[in-house]
Amino acid sequence: MPQIAFTGHLRRYLDISTAEVSGATVGEALDGAFRTNPRLRGYVLDDQGALRRHVSVYIGGLPVLDRQRLTDPVTDSDQIHVLQALSGG
Amino acid sequence: MVDRLWVGTRKGLFEIVRGGNAWEVAQVHFLGDPVTAVLGDDDATYTALDLGHFGAKVWRRQGSGAWHELAAPAFPPKPEDAADDPHPWSLGKVWVMERGGVPGRLWAGTMPGGLFRSEDSGASWSLNEALWRMPERRQWMGVAGGEQPGIDSVLVDPRNPEDIRLGVSIGGIWASRDGGASWGIINRGMYNEYMPPERREDPITQDVHRLARCAHHPEIAWCQHHNGVFRSEDAGATWRELTAIRPSKFGFAVAAHPRDPDTAWFVPATKDECRVPVDGRVVVVRTRDGGRSFEVLRSGLPQHHAYDLVWRHALAVDQSGERLAFGSTSGGLWTSEDGGDSWTMVEARLPPVAVVRFSGA
């Protein structure tokens, strides 16, 4: 099963840790994490279900391409990283 | 008088308490997080954060207990026929929160212009679809600092919770007399100097920086507008410009005396294209005669190379009408115990101040 890890910045607001999730796409994998922690959804996705503008998700070291519908495929061996994009001051 | 003051800043929410004869920072909440709105009384305090990466959030605490995160207002799925909507169907930030006049009811004004209502003390929120789906709403324009239009003021008539006024920057003043089931634009008498002549007096082009109303005489309303200050004696329908204001007519904030319908305060800045105090001197301006004349109040305020700008939600008055507070983009925080005649600096170097509000106000 793919493994999903979250930026430490999110631990400021949420009790989260690296998790194994099921799913064939990055959207399905994230949904698995949201089922465990419903508040997490609003931190990663916007109202329309797209990745927040300043959140990045990497699969196997590459950023996801479909930030709107999250259809990028994932495999059981993939590592998914949810990061904050660099911004702000 | 109220002895607790909330100060929301770019880097946290400061709880300021008056002990003895001085205001002091009692506690810092959400240190490091941008605060965009606060609403509190002895029972509960609400605050909205605008987390740079992770979106807008709303938190509540009961009394002086621990903070708990609430559901944030969220827009419904964007329908296909809204593809040409110039504004996003996604919460930018909560810009103002107000009590709705009935137990449990709250209103939240947001960027990009959605109005949300909660009937369960913030546990859940619903978009006011009547306002959001009006074709005219798409004519609202974005404002500096946000790039999206925003509802900056929500005035609920203390006598009738169904009677509501909204100030929109940029989009005029909207009224509902049926609790939000229907809306109409009402403002007449304002003008926007920078618009093409044929649109200058169009109500929907008016940039309403901030509205305030007299709690005991709710038909009396005041507006700090992009092009000057205005007063209404018919709950926002018609407006008269107050041309006597000095040293300038540009600014963001206004506070209305809770009982005296002729008293209000403003904090002018030089002008649109130079958003600093006139001559580097921080002043508060007060009228006590309905806007016919203004006093410039400067006792206790910095008068030498001070470039503090006061944003639209950063000037507050308590229920007494004697106690005031304001905070600036340079991190200054001042209070007055005598209606603005004299001021005391509470802190000089807070993060940039977005909102100042007395508990219970």
Residue A88: band (very low, low, confident or very high) from pLDDT cuts 50, 70, 90: low
Q: What pLDDT, on a 0 to 100 scale, did the predictor assign at position B144?
A: 60
Q: What pLDDT, on a 0 to 100 scale, did the predictor assign at position B357?
A: 98
Closest Cα in chain B, distance from residue A29 (Å): 19
B47: number of CA atoms within 13 Å, CB side?
30
Return d(Cα A51, Cα A49) in angstroms, integer.
7
With 0-12 / 13-18 / 19 or more C-beta atoms within 10 angstroms meaning exposed / middle / buried, residue B27 is exposed
Q: Per the structure block, which two tokens stand in for B83? A: 């593809």
Q: What is the pLDDT of residues A49-64, one digit of tens each?
A: 999 999 999 999 999 9
Of B54, B77, B90, the CB nearest to A43: B54
Question: Inter-chain contact B89–A43, Cβ cutoff 8 Å?
Answer: no
Return d(Cα B32, Cα A5) in angstroms, integer.
23
In a domain, A59, yes or no: yes
Residue B80: band (very low, low, confident or very high) from pLDDT cuts 50, 70, 90: very high
Range of the domain at A73: 3-84
B356: number of CA atoms within 13 Å, CB side?
30
Mean pLDDT of chain A: 92
Residue B224: band (very low, low, confident or very high) from pLDDT cuts 50, 70, 90: very high
Please state the pTM of the whole predicted model. Answer: 0.95
Q: What is the pLDDT of residues B18-34, one digit of tens each?
A: 988 899 999 999 999 99
Return d(Cα B295, Cα B275) in angstroms, integer.
21
Question: Inter-chain contact B54–A46, Cβ cutoff 8 Å?
Answer: no
In a domain, A54, yes or no: yes
Spell out which residues of chain B touch residue A67, defining contact as CB-CB under 8 Å: none
Question: Inter-chain contact B55–A84, Cβ cutoff 8 Å?
Answer: no
Q: What is the ipTM of this complex?
A: 0.90
CATH of residue A47: 3.10.20.30
Strands A79-84 and A3-6: parallel
Determine contact, residues B360/B41, Cβ cutoff 8 Å. yes
User: B91 and chain A: CB distance < 8 Å anywhere?
Assistant: yes
User: B264 and chain A: CB distance < 8 Å anywhere?
Assistant: no
Spell out which residues of chain B touch residue A44, defining contact as CB-CB under 8 Å: 54
Of A39, A47, A85, the CB nearest to B53: A85
3-class secondary structure, B276: coil
Closest Cα in chain A, distance from residue B126 (Å): 13
Alpha-carbon distances of A88 from B11, B33, B34, B51, rounded to whole Å? 12, 11, 11, 10
HEC assignment per residue over B332-355: CEEEECCCCCCCEEEECCCCCEEE
Determine contact, residues B280/B307, Cβ cutoff 8 Å. yes
Of A42, A43, A48, the CB nearest to B77: A48
Q: What pLDDT, on a 0 to 100 scale, did the predictor assign at position A42?
A: 97
In a domain, A28, yes or no: yes
Count of structural domains within chain A: 1
In a domain, A39, yes or no: yes
Alpha-carbon distances of B347 from A78, B98, B351, B353, rounded to whole Å? 51, 27, 10, 11
Spell out which residues of chain A touch residue B75, defining contact as CB-CB under 8 Å: 47-48
Determine contact, residues B302/B282, Cβ cutoff 8 Å. yes
In a domain, A30, yes or no: yes
Return d(Cα B341, Cα B7) in angstroms, integer.
22
pLDDT > 90 in chain B, percent: 93
Interface of B with A in 51-70 (CB under 8 A): 51-55, 57, 69
In a domain, A74, yes or no: yes
Q: What is the pLDDT of residues A32-85, one digit of tens each?
A: 999 999 999 999 999 999 999 999 999 999 999 999 999 999 999 999 999 988
Q: What is the pLDDT of residues B275-331, one digit of tens each?
A: 999 999 999 999 999 999 999 999 999 999 999 999 999 999 999 999 999 999 999
In a domain, A14, yes or no: yes
In a domain, A89, yes or no: no
Of B51, B69, B89, the CB nearest to A47: B89
